Amino acid sequence: KIKGLLFDLDGVLVDTAVYHYKAWLRLAKTMGFTFSELQNEELKGISRMDSLDKVLAWGNVQKSAEEKLALATQKNDWYVEMINKMTPAEVLPGALNFLQQAKQAGYKMALGSASKNSATILKNTNLAHFFDAIVDGNSVSKSKPDPEVFLKGAQELALQPQQCVVFEDAEAGIIAAKRGGMKAIGIGDKNILKQADKVVAGLGQLSVKNLEEL
């Protein structure tokens, strides 16, 4: 029986995926290249440094470790500028309602995000109070598709992986959930989130009652 819900943040609860995309694109442009929205899908769910490596490879650019750190910092400064201005209005359609329903139904809830900026986002959008545990980029050492972030989430909720459902918009995140032994609900496109147990366009398309059918 499902007792715990593990939520990815970017692209599931809030629309920060577009801010990540804007900041990476801006960085790529400073190096004289650009990349597509489809390529951007590959950046979803993976860590900042792993994202940078992919972006640099697309531009055929080589950088030293020191230069990479400076580039990642620049990207993050631009990103933080955008998320500092976020408001509760940027919670994705249906997400707030779903979190409220789930809380009322007694599910335990954890955040399972790759981001090191989750605290800022949760604070500005007023979502922090829903979570019994927060596992993010500051507390994991392996990036999705490694299941570490969700295994830690389940553990902090004192639940077995099989008792948990993961909500994810990234292919890497769905793979992480399945490797961890959890159910996975994809938020987005069926053709991209192939391994998910169920895919919906947004949390607004889902009711807490659907969790019993998984």
List contacts with ligand BG6 (CB under 6 A). Answer: 9-10, 20, 43-48, 51, 76, 113-117, 137, 170
Place of tokens 């970017």: 10
Known catalytic residues?
Answer: 8, 10
Considering the complex, what minimum distance in angstroms separates the CB of residue 144 from Mg ion? 9
Beta bridge partners of 198: 185
The residue number whose beta carbon is nearest to Mg ion equals: 11
Q: Which H or E run includes 75? A: helix 65-83
Considering the complex, what minimum distance in angstroms separates the CB of residue 184 from ligand BG6? 15
Report how far residue 35's alpha carbon sits from residue 49's, in angstroms, rounded to the nearest whole number.
17
Report how far residue 94's alpha carbon sits from residue 101's, in angstroms, rounded to the nearest whole number.
11
User: With CB cut-offs between 5 and 8 Å by kind, which of Mg ion, ligand BG6, none does residue 137 bind?
Assistant: ligand BG6
User: With CB cut-offs between 5 and 8 Å by kind, which of Mg ion, ligand BG6, none does residue 4 bind?
Assistant: none
Report how far residue 98's alpha carbon sits from residue 207's, in angstroms, rounded to the nearest whole number.
7
Contact between 86 and Mg ion per CB under 5 A: no
Compute the CA torsion angle 170, 42, 126, 80 (nearest 10 deg): 170
In the bound state with ligand BG6, the residue whose beta carbon lies nearer, of 170 and 208, is 170
User: With CB cut-offs between 5 and 8 Å by kind, which of Mg ion, ligand BG6, none does residue 43 bind?
Assistant: ligand BG6
